[in-house]
C-alpha cells in the first residue's frame, strides 16, 4: 500500500522526486515503528494512540517540531489516499495535533551598533558610497523589505509631505513618514545620482550604470557593511527591518502603529517583536540586579 501511495503521488499528483523520497523515508520509519510495537502493520488497526506514541518517540530522539510535523503531514496524505481508496473507513490522525514549532526570535542590532553603522563606518566616496549609506539608512529608518526598497521609484518619494509610498506584498501600498535626517541623505544621493548622468531606469536606487539594483546587490551591500560592526552570522536586509521594529517598540511606539509601518496584515506577526524586547529586558535585569 505504501508503494501504491508513492506511485499515486508520483504519477497522479506530479510530486517531485525529492518529495517522493521524503514520503518514502517517513512512511518507512512509521512502518518500522508499528512493526516493532504491534503484531503487524495493518493500516485498518492503527489508531490515534499508536500515532501519539510515534510522536513521543520522535521527540525523545531529538527530532525538531518542524521535522515531526512534516512526518505527520506525510502520514495525513497517506491516510487521505487510503480513505479515497476505501481501504480504511476512519482517519486516525483526525484529532492528532503536532508539536508546536518554536519560532526563533528576530535577529537585530542594538542601538549602539546602529549608531556606529550610521555615523562611523566608512562607505567610501562618491555616488556608490552615498548610495550604500542611504540604503542602510533607509532600511533602518523605514523598516521596509528588500523587494520594497528595490521597487521604489522617484515618484514614490514625497519630499513636501515627507512620505514614502511603498508597494508591499500582493501589491498592497502603504505610506511611511520620514524625517529631516533621511531627507538630507536622499537629497544628497539624488545629487550624486544626477552627476553620473546616465540613469536609464525609473528606479530610485540604481547601480553605477543607471540600471536597477538586483536583490543580490542589495544583500551584499548590507552584508558587507553590517560585518564592519557586528560578528553575528545573520547580516541581511531583514535584520535591519527587525532592528527598526525593535527600536520603535523600545521607544514606546504602539504595536498597532508598528504593524502599519511594517505592512503586516496581522497584529500577531508584529507581536514577535514584543518577545524580542522582553528578552532584552530580561538580559538588562540579570546584568543590573545584584541578586538576579
Find out whether 174 and 270 touch, Cβ atoms under 8 Å: no
Residue from 145, 146, 235, 242 carrying the catalytic annotation: 145
Determine whether 219 is an active site residue. Answer: no
Determine whether 264 is an active site residue. Answer: yes
Residue from 71, 133, 235, 241 carrying the catalytic annotation: 241
Residue from 10, 24, 110, 238 carrying the catalytic annotation: 238
- Sequence-separated (6 or more) residues with CB below 8 Å from residue 191: none
Cell (9 digits) for 183:
531627507
Residue from 23, 79, 123, 273 carrying the catalytic annotation: 273
The distance of Cα 119 from the centroid of its chain, to the nearest Å, equals 28
- HEC string of 37-49 equals HCCCCCCCCCCHH
Residue from 24, 76, 174, 264 carrying the catalytic annotation: 264
- Residue 124 gets the label, from left (phi > 0), alpha (psi -120 to 50) or beta, of left
Cell (9 digits) for 1:
500500500
Q: Are strands 173-177 and 163-167 parallel, antiparallel or unpaired?
A: antiparallel
240, HSE (Cβ side, Cα atoms, 13 Å): 30
Determine whether 94 is an active site residue. Answer: no
- Residue 56 gets the label, from left (phi > 0), alpha (psi -120 to 50) or beta, of alpha
Find out whether 231 and 93 touch, Cβ atoms under 8 Å: no
Determine whether 187 is an active site residue. Answer: no
Residue from 85, 169, 275, 283 carrying the catalytic annotation: 169
The residues carrying an active-site annotation are: 145, 169, 238, 241, 264, 273
Amino acid at each position: 500500500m505504501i508503494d501504491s501511495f508513492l506511485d499515486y503521488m508520483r504519477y497522479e499528483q506530479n510530486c517531485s522526486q525529492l518529495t517522493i523520497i521524503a514520503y518514502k523515508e517517513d512512511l518507512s520509519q512509521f512502518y518500522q515503528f508499528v512493526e516493532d510495537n504491534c503484531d503487524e502493520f495493518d493500516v485498518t488497526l492503527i489508531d490515534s494512540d499508536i500515532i501519539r506514541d510515534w510522536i513521543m518517540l520522535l521527540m525523545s530522539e531529538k527530532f525538531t517540531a518542524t521535522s515531526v510535523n512534516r512526518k505527520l503531514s506525510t502520514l495525513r496524505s497517506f491516510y487521505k489516499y487510503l480513505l479515497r481508496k476505501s481501504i480504511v473507513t476512519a482517519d486516525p490522525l483526525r484529532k492528532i495535533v503536532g508539536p508546536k514549532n518554536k519560532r526563533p526570535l528576530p535577529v537585530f542590532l542594538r542601538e549602539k551598533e546602529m549608531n556606529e553603522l550610521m555615523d562611523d563606518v566608512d562607505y567610501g566616496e562618491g555616488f556608490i558610497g552615498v548610495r550604500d549609506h542611504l540604503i542602510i539608512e533607509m532600511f533602518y529608518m523605514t523598516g521596509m523589505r528588500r523587494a520594497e526598497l528595490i521597487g521604489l521609484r522617484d515618484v514614490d518619494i514625497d519630499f513636501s509631505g515627507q512620505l514614502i509610498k511603498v508597494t508591499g506584498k500582493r501589491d498592497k501600498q502603504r505610506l511611511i513618514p520620514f524625517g529631516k535626517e533621511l531627507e538630507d541623505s536622499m537629497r544628497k544621493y539624488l545629487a550624486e545620482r544626477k552627476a553620473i548622468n546616465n540613469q536609464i531606469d525609473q528606479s530610485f536606487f540604481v547601480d553605477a550604470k543607471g540600471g536597477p539594483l538586483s536583490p543580490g546587490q542589495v544583500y551584499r551591500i548590507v552584508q558587507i557593511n553590517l560585518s564592519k560592526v557586528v560578528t553575528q552570522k545573520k547580516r541581511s536586509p531583514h535584520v535591519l527591518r527587525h532592528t527598526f521594529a525593535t527600536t520603535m517598540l523600545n521607544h514606546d511606539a504602539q504595536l498597532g502603529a508598528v504593524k502599519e509601518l511594517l505592512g503586516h496584515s496581522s497584529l500577531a506577526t508584529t507581536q514577535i517583536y514584543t518577545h524580542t524586547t522582553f528578552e532584552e529586558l530580561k538580559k538588562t535585569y540579570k546584568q543590573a540586579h545584584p541578586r538576579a
